Amino acid sequence: MTPSPAWTRKDLIAIEDLSREELDIIFATAESFKSTLGRSVKKLPSLRGVTVVNLFMEPSTRTRLAFEIAATRLSADVISVMGDASSLVKGETLRDTALNIQALSADMIIMRHSAAGAAKYLSEITDMPVINAGDGAHAHPTQALLDAYTLREKFGPDLTGKHVTILGDILFSRVARSNIWCLKKLGAHVTLAGPSTLVPREFENLGVRVCHDLKQALADADAVMLLRIQHERQTSTHFPSLGEYTSMFGLNKRRAAWLKPNAIIMHPGPINRGVELDSDLADSSRSVILDQVTNGIAVRMAVLYLCASTKSLSTAQ
């Protein structure tokens, strides 16, 4: 494979930075990589000799593992550093941590951090490509890319006019923000639904519909994307109790009947079963939740490969 000459970024920080052409390059590259994942020998030599550091200052299962697997499939050497096992807990600054990682001859950093803007800051102080694996409530670009990739698999490559409803804790969600940017750039219609305290009208300024009536929000959806309540980012109570949230906005069998027959159910994970989504729906034939997880590998292979190519780290194979 040869990286597209139209890709000139060393970093992936946020979807809002990307043009439609760049999104299409990522999807096309991910498609090529996905076709290699079923082979008996899954490894490609593209990032041979490249050292990738996975720096995660917040918990993660899917994102960290998918990046590790993606980098390994591309033959990179991967080292994972958890925030609570690094010298950050001894008072070292993020800047010093990054400069030390660079001094240790790492070539790329993938970072998750609780502060919005942390990945951008890192990209400005190091020469290494920086991939944002989630920064506070700001952005989770590879999640939005794998979500869009999954929607394209289910509905075809043109998402123009498709309706996606994002339901849950929008206010504190980096996944929602990145998905809004991504889906709008791809021509889809986005509806945000949930309690008014978690889905304020201000989001309409991003060109989306805000709907606090669940039946209405689900009626025209081709896909409904559930989000969990993000207690770790909430500083005050936004609804009386989890039980009340579930009784008003949890997706259960009765409410799923309000969806169109072919509508699919998505969730970035982790799922709080029985809270935002009933277990039988999460495991039903309508659910593409595990497809999303699998697609995270090919999408992250594409992002690593493209950003590495800008710094001439990757070999064109």
What is the rounded distance in angstroms from the CA atom of residue 140 to the CA atom of residue 131? 10
Number of neighbours of residue 189 by Cβ within 10 angstroms: 19
Select the residue interacting with ligand CP from 54, 143, 150, 178 (CB under 6 A). 143
231 binds ligand CP (CB under 6 A): no
Select the residue interacting with ligand CP from 144, 269, 297, 300 (CB under 6 A). 269
233 binds ligand CP (CB under 6 A): no
Rounded to a whole number of angstroms, the minimum distance from the CB of residue 222 to ligand CP is 21
268 binds ligand CP (CB under 6 A): yes
Q: Provide the 3-class DSSP secondary structure of residue 137.
A: coil
Contact present, 250 and 278 (Cβ < 8 Å): yes
184 binds ligand CP (CB under 6 A): no
Select the residue interacting with ligand CP from 54, 60, 173, 178 (CB under 6 A). 60
Q: Which residue has the tokens 């020998």?
A: 41
What is the rounded distance in angstroms from the CA atom of residue 174 to the CA atom of residue 187? 20
255 binds ligand CP (CB under 6 A): no
136 binds ligand CP (CB under 6 A): no
Question: In terms of residues, how long is the chain?
Answer: 317
Select the residue interacting with ligand CP from 19, 61, 87, 284 (CB under 6 A). 61
Contact present, 64 and 72 (Cβ < 8 Å): no
Torsion of CA 278, 241, 217, 27, to 10 degrees: -60
What is the rounded distance in angstroms from the CA atom of residue 222 to the CA atom of residue 166? 11
Q: Provide the 3-class DSSP secondary structure of residue 204.
A: helix
Rounded to a whole number of angstroms, the minimum distance from the CB of residue 45 to ligand CP is 27
62 binds ligand CP (CB under 6 A): yes
Asked whether residue 228 is marked as a ligand-binding residue, the answer is yes
Rounded to a whole number of angstroms, the minimum distance from the CB of residue 209 to ligand CP is 24
Amino acid, res. 272: N
Contact present, 289 and 81 (Cβ < 8 Å): no
Rounded to a whole number of angstroms, the minimum distance from the CB of residue 140 to ligand CP is 6
Asked whether residue 140 is marked as a ligand-binding residue, the answer is yes
Residue nearest to ligand CP (CB): 63
Going 296 to 297 to 299 to 303, the CA torsion angle's sign is positive
- Span of 8-16, 114-122, 198-206, 268-276 interacting with ligand CP by CB under 6 A: 268-276
Select the residue interacting with ligand CP from 29, 63, 191, 246 (CB under 6 A). 63
Comparing CA positions, the residue from 95, 51, 224, 76 lying closest to residue 147 is 224
- Span of 204-212, 219-227, 264-272, 277-285 interacting with ligand CP by CB under 6 A: 264-272
Contact present, 182 and 144 (Cβ < 8 Å): yes
Select the residue interacting with ligand CP from 270, 274, 283, 316 (CB under 6 A). 270
Rounded to a whole number of angstroms, the minimum distance from the CB of residue 219 to ligand CP is 27
Edge to edge, what strands does the sheet with 264-266 contain? 209-211, 189-193, 163-167, 223-226, 264-266
Binding-site residues for carbamoyl phosphate, in ranges, read: 62-63, 112, 140, 143, 269-270
Binding-site residues for L-aspartate, in ranges, read: 90, 174, 228
Q: Which residues bind ligand CP (CB under 6 A)?
A: 60-63, 134, 143, 268-270
